Amino acid sequence: MTAIPGPRALAPRLDQLAAAVRARSALVPRIGIVLGSGLGRLGERIEDPVAIPYAELPGWPAPTAQGHAGRLILGRLDGIPVACLQGRFHCYEGHDVLTVVEPALLLGRLGAPEILLTNAAGGVDPTFTAGTLMLITDHLNLTGRSPLLGPNDDAVGPRFLDLTAAWDRDLAERLRVAARSEGIPLAEGTYAGLLGPTYETPAEVRMLRTLGAHAVGMSTVLEAIAARWAGMRVCGISLVTNPGAGISPTPLSHAEVIAAADAAGPRLEAVVRAFLRELPAP
């Protein structure tokens, strides 16, 4: 059996990645933002952008998921310095778990004390329709993976990480206030992260509801764990692109997911921008 590299392997990788970014931009982000499937357009709004395709960063593959541009963009959004990941790596693409979490950790290494994770998700709560925005208040990690397996790097984070407040309550409240100020409804709930790449069976969606999930997707939870481990404060919003399998009688398709994300994207963008404008100094 091969040894698991573990989070200790991340520190030199992050140094190498940060150096590559610093060769192109000195910007220190106030917050890191991860844009999920179909949500990348917020990245186009960044002023004075320095955009770095993932394939130009050492060791990063080009993303394969459709709807993911695959760029790190540094610049300002409404005057706030941000580092934005337009697209992410997923385990279902065949990437190991450390590759999946490196981008989120890199944002922290560049100086972002906070991270906002967004994703496209299926609705498990039967009241959620396509286009529902859901504040993530907690998660279920059902991927069967953890980025923290293997030798720990105590200089970065603890061996046994407390996840009681994985999803930061103060940032969550700020997102609620931002949505309210824009007149945009914001549901809340627990995001279940699964490995994918299949969508769920109707029985799995019923199981997830029994487990207390409100939305389901194939990302986010591993990044949230890694970012918390590295001491970042984490918040997030799911854009529900479809009722989960079996709730809607029609089959699910990636095209439907992308179309719904495109349609609701401007509302998510408005919430995020209102949130950024009111962020206090770190």
Number of residues that bind ligand HPA (CB under 6 A): 13
CB contact set of 262 (below 8 Å; sequence gap of 6+): 38
Catalytic residue among 182, 248, 254, 259: 254
Residues 222-251 that bind ligand HPA (CB under 6 A): 241-242, 244
Work out which of 114, 153, 200, 269 binds ligand HPA, going by CB under 6 A: 200
- In the residue annotation, 214 being an active-site residue is answered as no
Work out which of 77, 121, 135, 225 binds ligand HPA, going by CB under 6 A: 121
Q: Is residue 216 part of the contact set for ligand HPA (CB under 6 A)?
A: yes
Q: Is residue 17 part of the contact set for ligand HPA (CB under 6 A)?
A: no
Catalytic residue among 119, 141, 146, 219: 219
CB contact set of 181 (below 8 Å; sequence gap of 6+): 274
- CB closer to ligand HPA, 175 vs 218: 218
Q: Is residue 192 part of the contact set for ligand HPA (CB under 6 A)?
A: no
Bridge partners, 120 (sequence order) = 239
- CB closer to ligand HPA, 89 vs 229: 89
Binding site for ligand HPA (CB under 6 A): 120-122, 199-200, 216-218, 241-242, 244, 252, 257
